[in-house]
Structure 1
Amino acid sequence: MRITFPNPLGPPISFDTANIPSGPPILSRLTSHPRRAQIRVLLLILISLLLLSWRPSPPFPPDYAREWSLERTLPKSYNRPLIEGKEGRYIKFESPKPTGFNHQMQRVLLQHHLAVLSNRSYAYEPLVQDDTRFPFVLTFPPWRSARVPLSALISTVTSGFERFFDNPRAVPYSHYRSICPSWKETVYQLKDADHPDGNLDVSLDAQMRVHQLQALFAGNDAKCLRIQGPVFGDDFFDSESLLQLQQSFIQSPVLQHFTMSPTVLSVVNREMHRLAPDSAPYDLTRVGTAFTAEGVRPGSNWKHILALHLRHGDSWSQTCHDKGMKSAPFVGWTKIPEFPGNENVPPPADMAEAARLGLYKAKCSPDTLDIIARARRMRKNHPFLHTVYILTDGVTPWGEEVKMWLLSEGWENVWLSPKDIWPDWQDGEIGVGVDMEVARRSGVFVGNGFSTTGSNIALLRLRDGIHPDLTQFW
């Protein structure tokens, strides 16, 4: 049997039990027992349990003990028994699937918004990265968390802003389940192709859908509502109808009080001396709690930073090709007409296929020379820019090449975020939040119109009052 152990100081250690020298005769007799296979399996299980309880880091992911504890204990401090606790009214939407943070976040924000409109407590779940019952998938180290507490990335669900609007505060799913066992739930199943007999048939019009669901959820006397099916699915975010919600959503308490978490902002504080030396650090003791009904202060823009969102790799190139073949629209809020760069997507129906695929490649996965030319043009149009911050999925030779070319163009600093800003193992799972915060405050942001990351950043920049000309797309 070949056994592999994690090694905190280097590569995993492997050995084959067949190569272990034979011991004394008595030991040989023990190991030759017919149940020796079961004994070996038992030993392996015991060793695994020891490692799970010890959790050497790396290769084990962070345990997020502080964030899990906050989510678990915070509802116990709520002191409005008529609208919270056992007398409260709750709503739980469909459990998230293993997707990226921003793909889940765009739904969380709208679900929370709908819960506030319906005067119900929003039951939230962790960010799901892998579909497993284990803390992480036991493949190859270093491992990543299967579930990350939502409060490790955003503060909106734990800040308690709802109390300023006489609304019940959000609670974690574990608290919801303690009050709402399955037999107490009123379940609505979204009617769709997979569930033609569903009892929830939503309007295709975004504004009508929100009004319809608000009236249904607010008017229902049931304490515990559970929604099965994605009421805000991919088709919803791909549709032009989404833009009907732009103004009302931007002004909503959920978005006005949205901030990244203290965990994320502590990383930004750590790098503030390089990113924006003249800016004050975040007050981490206040950022996670709402103190007024007015919402958060976005902070001054970092006018010297050009934030570029770059996606690359074979799988992403295939995604871009598929979108070109379907003439797919930009996703989410990147379709807002005021943003430069989205005026020709989707292209006219009579555009030749080769030209259409070339257009989608340029906008979805730009070449190095196109990136350099765009950065050069941004600096010419905005002379205050002198630093480039590259948001990307990982450190690759291609990313290093782009950085080298930008430095040769005379930029004072070029930060490749996974390598230069959050390289530590414990920051890897929240690095996307760091990228979003820097891009939100950057002087100019050039995003990817086919990415939910670009969509959420664009929305937050609109909330902050940044001129749309400073939020662009490839």
Structure 2
Amino acid sequence: MLPLSRTDVPLGLHGKHDNALIYVRYFARRYLVLGVTGLVLFFLLLRILYVGRDVRPSPISDGNPSSRWPGRRLPPLYGQYHQYEHQLPQHHWDAPSHESEPKFFWIPGHSRGSGWGNIFQEVLLNAYLSHKANRAFVFYNYTWNDDGSDYSDYNGKPIPSRIPLSALIRGPIVGAPWPAGDPAPLAISEEYWHHVCGAKRRVIPRAEVHDHLPSWYVSDITKGWLDKLSTVDDQCVEAGSDGGPPYNWVTFGEKDAMTDVWPDFARSPVLTHLAWSPLVELGFDNNREVFAPTTVLEPPLSSIPATAPSAERYSMLPGLLVLHIRRGDYEGHCAHLARWSSSYLAFNALQGLPDRFAPPPGGQLGREHPGERADLHGALFPERAADRAQGGGGRARGGGAGAEPGACVCDDERRGRVGRGAQGGAEGHGRVDERGEQQGPGAELGAEVFIGNGWSSLTGNIVLMRQANGFRPESTRFW
């Protein structure tokens, strides 16, 4: 160890202090301090540069989530799917310049804190708008809240605060290639958008477009934004969040909002090449024998190439009847719908569907019509499920199945197979086995007959994909 002062210097072999040695020790100590300081500064600089490059949000600890929800199993956070999105080949994190990359479109005011059915409808239309504008869609997490926490509380239960979109769906919406011959740029993640566009984004205020629209129909909103985007050449364009996203609950609640745009939307690769994630399809494969037994030569859904169109991927499951019964919060929701004379949602009022709902005449917006709540109650609640499932009134017949179908009841609390020729309604299926809890949405998409709820966004998304995949309209019914 180097001496720290002259008095610390021991007597050498010559029996006197060596002044030359003192100077050597002095300079060695000085340069040692300078060297250590330089190394510290060097690593700090690397850290700053790294953080500037990689803007993925780091999880913020919730403290101890297990103590917040004692006795409950915490759901997964799907970190591997975040990592997959981060590593998409169109993300050139280390490129010295991004000028040669395509034009992007980001919608930061997208909805949060709502059910997946509502969010999914918005994601589809946001991606459709980006594709029409020939801009790369900036996809984002399914977000319950964005306060940085890992978990949120939903009616006393822990749920992930955000779920990567690739854990739920796959296809061009989440960065996969568009079908052959489609020159549209590949979608990018929100994190990559911030990496590339943080300092050079062009914000278009929502009001600048929506204040001049003739209606809140999808066709008018889409045309308004396309006209505006055609006048902007910036690489990084952002839809201002003043007033919310381009498509919101007002549009989705209007029965005629999809009418004009539907033929073009149905042909868009946003729908024709949409698929559920491998995680979801694995749940379907693991449980298919419960509700739709396969033949020996029938391959599992997860073995079909990812590039296969949705119509080939989710083909008909002969003899299967699927019922979607919404439960839990519809007592209060029924009163709300009656006050606003609500008809079926936009996705449940597509052309050709045989079932319609017309509110009783004479209603006033904001005030419940005396007869409408009774009509709505009959359509919303499962008391007449048995009649519909057996084809009562001619409503559930029309799927073309001559034999009695198997049935799968999907509700807010549990899902599973009723069995061949089911005679019971929503409460007639008894306990559902554990595997039935994991059933994937492929059953609803491929059912020979599907009966759902005209005011449900979950039903609406199933209806949308069935229609786009070429299922006969009369095979899709409402209570």
Q: TM-score range by the shorter chain?
A: 0.7 to 0.9
The structure number with the bigger radius of gyration is 2
Q: In the alignment, which residue of structure 2 is the partner of 1:5?
A: none
* Mapped pair 1:151 → 2:166: yes
Match of 1:246 among 240, 258, 262: 262
Match of 1:333 in 2: 347
Q: 1:407 to 1:442 in 2, by over 3 A?
A: closer
Identify if the C-alpha distance between structure 1 residues 218 and 96 changes in structure 2 by more than 3 Å, giving closer, same or farther: same
* Residue 166 of structure 1 pairs with residue 179 of structure 2: no
1:453 aligns with 2:453: no
Report if the CA contact (8 A) 1:305-1:442 is conserved.
yes
- 2:363, 2:117 → 1: CA distance? 33
Instruction: Specify whether residues 250 and 458 from structure 1 end up closer, same or farther in structure 2 by C-alpha distance, changes over 3 A only.
Output: same
CA shift at 1:414, angstroms?
A: 5.3
Cα distance change on mapping 1:305 and 1:257 into 2, 3 Å: same
Instruction: Quote how far apart the aligned CAs of 1:246 are.
Output: 1.0
TM (normalized to structure 1)? 0.74
Q: Which residue of 1 aligns with 2:302?
A: 284
* Rounded Cα–Cα distance in structure 2 between residues aligned with 1:375 and 1:327: 27
| Partner AA of 2:389 in structure 1 | A
| Shift of residue 57, structure 1, vs aligned partner | 11
CA distance in 1, matches of 2:430, 2:299: 19
CA distance in 1, matches of 2:232, 2:92: 24
Specify the alignment match of 2:226 in structure 1: 214
Q: How does 1:23-422 map to 2 (within 5 A)?
A: 59-76=73-90, 87-93=101-107, 94-137=109-152, 143-156=158-171, 157-161=174-178, 164-181=181-198, 183-191=199-207, 198=208, 200-203=210-213, 204=215, 205-227=217-239, 228=241, 229-239=244-254, 240-278=256-294, 280-282=298-300, 284=302, 287=305, 289-290=306-307, 297-313=312-328, 315-342=329-356, 344-349=357-362, 353-367=369-383, 370-377=384-391, 382-395=401-414, 407=422, 409=424, 420-422=434-436
Work out the CA distance in 1 between the residues paired with 2:363 and 2:152.
47
* Cα RMSD after superposing both structures: 3.6
Structure 1 residue 446, shift from structure 2 partner = 0.7
Counterpart CA distance in 1 for 2:164 and 2:458 is 19
Deviation at 1:150, TM superposition (A): 0.6
Unmatched runs of 5 consecutive residues or more in structure 1: 1-46, 192-197
Deviation of residue 231 (structure 1)?
0.9
Q: Percent identity?
A: 20
Say which SS state the counterpart of residue 122 (structure 2) adopts: helix
Q: Residue 20 of structure 2 aligns with which residue? A: none
Identify if the C-alpha distance between structure 1 residues 445 and 286 changes in structure 2 by more than 3 Å, giving closer, same or farther: closer
Q: How far is the alpha carbon of 1:161 from its aligned partner?
A: 1.7
Aligned-partner residue type, residue 392 of structure 1: D
Aligned pair count? 394
Q: Does structure 2 conserve the Cα–Cα contact (< 8 Å) formed by 1:305 and 1:389?
A: yes
* Range moving further from structure 2, 332-341 or 254-263: 332-341
Deviation at 1:353, TM superposition (A): 3.5
Task: Check the 8 A contact 1:305/1:386 in 2, yes or no.
Answer: yes
Instruction: Assess, with a 3 A threshold, how the Cα gap between structure 1 residues 78 and 175 changes in structure 2: closer, same or farther.
Output: closer
- 1:4 is aligned to none
CA contact (8 A) 2:210 2:221 kept: no
Q: Which runs of 5+ in 2 are unaligned?
A: 1-60
Secondary structure at 1:308 match in 2: strand
Alignment partners' CA distance in 1, 2:330 and 2:462? 20
Letter in 1 for 2:211: D
How far has the Cα of 1:420 moved from its partner? 4.8
Output one character per residue of 1:271-293: Cα deviation in whole Å (capped at 9) or x when no partner. Answer: 12223222634453665x437xx
Q: Aligned partners of 2:443 and 2:81: how far apart in 1? A: 22
How far apart are 1:199 and its partner, in Å? 6.1
Superposition deviation, residue 104 in structure 1: 0.5
**In structure 1, C-alpha distance between the alignment counterparts of 2:386 and 2:381, rounded to whole Å:** 13
Residue type of the partner of 1:179?
V
The letter of the residue matching 1:137 is S
The separation in 1 between residues aligned to 2:339 and 2:133, in whole angstroms, is 40
Deviations 1:129-181 (A, max 9, x none): 34542110268976221111111111022322267411111111011111110
Q: CA deviation at 1:320?
A: 1.1
CA contact (8 A) 1:124 1:172 kept: yes
Structure having the larger proportion of residues in helix = 1
Cα distance per residue 1:233-278 (max 9 Å; x no partner): 1111223132111111001111111111111000111112223222
**CA distance, structure 2, for counterparts of residue 330 and residue 410 of structure 1:** 23
CA distance 1:117–1:140, shift in 2 (3 Å): closer
Per the alignment, residue 464 of structure 1 pairs with 469
CA shift for structure 1 position 190: 1.7
Distance 1:334 1:394 in 2: 23
- Displacement of 1:221 after TM fit? 0.7
Q: Cα distance, 1:465 vs. partner?
A: 1.1
Change (3 A) 1:202 1:389: farther
Q: 1:56 to 1:345 in 2, by over 3 A?
A: same
Deviation of 1:416 (Å): 7.6
Which amino acid is 1:201 matched to? Answer: D
Q: 1:386 to 1:286 in 2, by over 3 A?
A: closer
Secondary structure of the residue that 2:151 maps to in structure 1?
coil
Cα distance in 2 for residues equivalent to 1:116 and 1:295 = 18
